[in-house]
């Protein structure tokens, strides 16, 4: 229902963290807009600032707290009347976070999303919502995946204004908060894996797939908004369909997403190496419109470390998987993350990781130093390493990765790539054009700058065929050959 004050209220959503959080914020924006709230870009121009927090690692938590505090400062000098924290950190810590962060007017968990408008209106009327009490969300759905679809929570979807959702099919309760040519689409939520270092399943819950018709409806809606590339996201995309009775549901879904009119590229994120199967490799490398992009979560390559993480694989199985990818598509983009300094890790384990990275030839590698996460099994493991040892190992692996990423980019010199234009800025009469090639995921995998010849005009959202002429780390410089799509 609309705000009850008789005047329009404004709200700004400030998002931290991953693409899944981006989707959550846009879904909240859709519900708030439907309830009569005016969406504004900046917190200092809003009655309420809603901070969608990230609770993934320690630095993300610090960034979230700093953002809440910065928004709270606006209450003293500007229009802002209230600051509300939502998202993963709010869900994970709830009441404890509220006690340690009194500057926030409310800490609301995921269960408050369906009625967020009423909560915000109550806050503006001086009420103090009860702080969220965290619980293990894995207990909220049946243990058997096949029983989860019938039990998954469904938030009532209101009748939306004309143009906010498709005229037929599942409603899309979402409002874009940006205007870029790509957008994430969440195809599932939660995770059934029990990695010892990860707290995400406890506050995101068990794995639940979105039905294909919902994913396709949202993709069609995004295409109507001018989106050219959709990025399919979840906590574990390779598990898609396990609760729908079809372990090959992702392979079946991809051609339909790619066939949506207006969508030029489909990208898939977060692939669990242990769950990658030949049919999925085929789908990701041969489906028209699907880019050959592999976001593989290796985390380490030492079998001993992986076992302590409760993960599978090792150097040789991982290299065999990479060989299967490149046999199908030699130009495929492959990225991963690794954790260094895990409890019990030895120098020999680090040597093995470095050897693996040298042989793997990955396009991008994120390097993280291990730190305890509240409530995880790894927090209780023996063999903890001193902070200075973890830092030294992170430095060693990071320096190696920087060298290897540059070498991999140099292998692409002369390669012909399709660049999705994301930014065109006039610099003293000369356009500065930046986008991403197919092997570059949004935000974290580098970018490609186009060196345009005189008279060559491009716009945001164009796909430009170009030849790679230079590199700087993971970033590329390329010269257009022809404009592929306008």
Are 442 and 309 in a shared domain?
no
| 205 within a domain of the structure (yes/no) | yes
Are 201 and 343 in a shared domain?
yes
Are 338 and 268 in a shared domain?
yes
| 212 within a domain of the structure (yes/no) | yes
Are 403 and 426 in a shared domain?
no
The CATH number assigned to the domain holding 78 equals 3.40.50.12160
Q: What is the pLDDT of residues 113-143, one digit of tens each?
A: 989 999 999 999 998 887 777 665 555 444 5
What are the 10-residue block averages of pLDDT along the chain, 486 residues in total?
Answer: 60 93 94 94 94 86 93 87 93 90 93 92 90 63 51 48 45 86 95 92 88 96 97 95 92 98 98 96 98 98 98 98 98 98 98 99 97 94 98 99 98 98 85 96 96 91 98 97 58
| 376 within a domain of the structure (yes/no) | yes
Are 170 and 107 in a shared domain?
no
d(C-alpha 438, C-alpha 425), whole Å: 22
Residue reference for tokens 């009469």: 429
Neighbours of 143 (CB within 10 A): 10
Residue reference for tokens 């030839």: 361
d(C-alpha 431, C-alpha 467), whole Å: 18
| 143 within a domain of the structure (yes/no) | no
| 147 within a domain of the structure (yes/no) | no
d(C-alpha 269, C-alpha 237), whole Å: 7
Separation in Å, CA 93 to CA 22, 88, 104, 374? 20, 9, 14, 10
Q: Give me the domain span that covers residue 16.
A: 10-134
Question: What is the sign of the dihedral through the CA atoms of 385, 388, 394 and 399?
Answer: negative
Are 187 and 296 in a shared domain?
yes
* Class of residue 293 by CB neighbours under 10 A (exposed 0-12, middle 13-18, buried 19+): buried
354 is in an annotated binding site: no
| 213 within a domain of the structure (yes/no) | yes
* Total domains in the fold of the chain: 3
Residue reference for tokens 């291990």: 370
Residues 359/319, Cβ–Cβ less than 8 Å: yes
Q: Which helix (H) or strand (E) holds 470?
A: strand 463-472
d(C-alpha 140, C-alpha 204), whole Å: 10
Are 404 and 420 in a shared domain?
no
The CATH number assigned to the domain holding 481 equals 2.40.50.140
Are 124 and 188 in a shared domain?
no
d(C-alpha 33, C-alpha 170), whole Å: 18
Are 376 and 454 in a shared domain?
no
Rg for the chain (alpha carbons), in Å? 23
Instruction: Tell me how far apart the terminal alpha carbons of the chain are, to the nearest angstrom.
Output: 41
Are 292 and 200 in a shared domain?
yes
- For residue 200, the model assigns a pLDDT of 87
CA atoms within 13 A on the CB side of 449: 12
Query: 389 is written with which tokens?
Result: 């040892």
**pTM greater than the 0.85 cutoff:** yes
Are 294 and 172 in a shared domain?
yes
Within its chain, how far is the Cα of 458 from the centroid? 28
| 148 within a domain of the structure (yes/no) | no
From start to end of 347-457, where are the E strands? Answer: 364-369, 416-427, 430-436, 448-450
Residues 437/417, Cβ–Cβ less than 8 Å: yes
Residue reference for tokens 């680090």: 350
Residues 288/314, Cβ–Cβ less than 8 Å: no
The CATH number assigned to the domain holding 169 equals 3.80.30.20
- For residue 7, the model assigns a pLDDT of 62
d(C-alpha 201, C-alpha 375), whole Å: 11
Angle between helix 249-258 and helix 212-224 axes, rounded to 10 deg: 20
Residue 218 dihedral angles phi and psi, to the nearest 5°: -70, -40
Are 377 and 421 in a shared domain?
no
Residues 270/233, Cβ–Cβ less than 8 Å: yes
Torsion of CA 152, 158, 163, 165, to 10 degrees: 10
d(C-alpha 423, C-alpha 447), whole Å: 11
Neighbours of 136 (CB within 10 A): 11
From start to end of 204-264, where are the E strands? Answer: 208-209, 229-233
């Amino acid at each position: 229902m609309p705000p009850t004050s008789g005047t329009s209220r404004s709200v700004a959503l400030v998002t931290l963290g991953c693409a899944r959080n981006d989707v959550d914020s846009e879904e909240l924006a859709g519900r708030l807009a439907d309830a009569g709230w005016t969406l504004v870009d900046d917190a200092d121009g809003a009655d309420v600032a809603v901070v969608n927090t990230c609770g993934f690692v320690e630095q993300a938590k610090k960034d979230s707290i700093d953002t809440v505090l910065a928004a709270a400062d606006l209450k003293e000098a500007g229009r802002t009347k209230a600051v509300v924290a939502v998202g993963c950190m709010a869900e994970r810590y709830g009441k404890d976070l509220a006690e340690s962060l009194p500057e926030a007017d409310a800490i609301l968990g995921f269960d408050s999303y369906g009625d967020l408008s009423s909560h915000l209106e109550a806050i503006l009327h001086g009420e103090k919502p009860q702080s969220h009490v965290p619980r293990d969300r894995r207990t909220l759905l049946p243990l058997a995946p096949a029983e989860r679809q019938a039990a998954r929570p469904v938030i009532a979807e209101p009748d939306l204004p004309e143009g906010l959702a498709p005229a037929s099919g599942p409603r899309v309760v979402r409002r874009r908060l940006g205007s870029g040519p790509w957008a994430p689409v969440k195809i599932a939520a939660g995770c059934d894996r029990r990695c010892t270092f990860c707290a995400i399943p406890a506050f995101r819950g068990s794995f639940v797939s979105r039905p294909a018709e919902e994913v396709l409806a949202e993709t069609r809606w995004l295409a109507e908004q001018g989106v050219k590339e959709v990025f399919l996201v979840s906590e574990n995309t390779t598990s898609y369909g396990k609760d729908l009775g079809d372990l090959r549901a992702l392979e079946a879904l991809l051609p339909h997403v790619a066939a949506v009119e207006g969508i030029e590229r489909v990208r898939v994120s977060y692939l669990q190496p242990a769950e990658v199967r030949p049919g999925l490799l085929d789908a990701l490398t041969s489906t028209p419109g699907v880019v050959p992009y592999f976001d593989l979560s290796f985390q380490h390559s030492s079998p001993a470390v992986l076992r302590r993480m409760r993960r599978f694989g090792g150097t040789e199985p991982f290299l065999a998987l990479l060989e299967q990818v490149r046999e199908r598509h030699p130009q495929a983009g492959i990225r991963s993350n690794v954790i260094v300094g895990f409890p019990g890790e030895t120098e020999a384990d680090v040597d093995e990781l470095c050897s693996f990275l040298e042989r793997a030839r990955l396009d991008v590698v994120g390097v993280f130093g291990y730190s305890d996460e509240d409530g995880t099994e790894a927090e209780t493991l023996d063999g903890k390493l001193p902070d200075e040892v973890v830092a030294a190992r992170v430095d060693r692996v990071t320096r190696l990765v920087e060298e290897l990423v540059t070498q991999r980019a140099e292998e692409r010199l002369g390669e012909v790539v399709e660049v999705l234009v994301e930014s065109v800025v006039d610099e003293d009469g000369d356009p500065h054009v930046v986008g991403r090639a197919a092997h570059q995921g949004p935000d974290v995998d580098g970018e490609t700058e186009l060196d345009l010849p005189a008279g060559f005009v491009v716009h945001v959202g164009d796909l430009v065929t170009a030849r790679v002429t230079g590199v700087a780390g993971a970033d590329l410089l390329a010269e257009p050959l022809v404009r592929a799509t306008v």
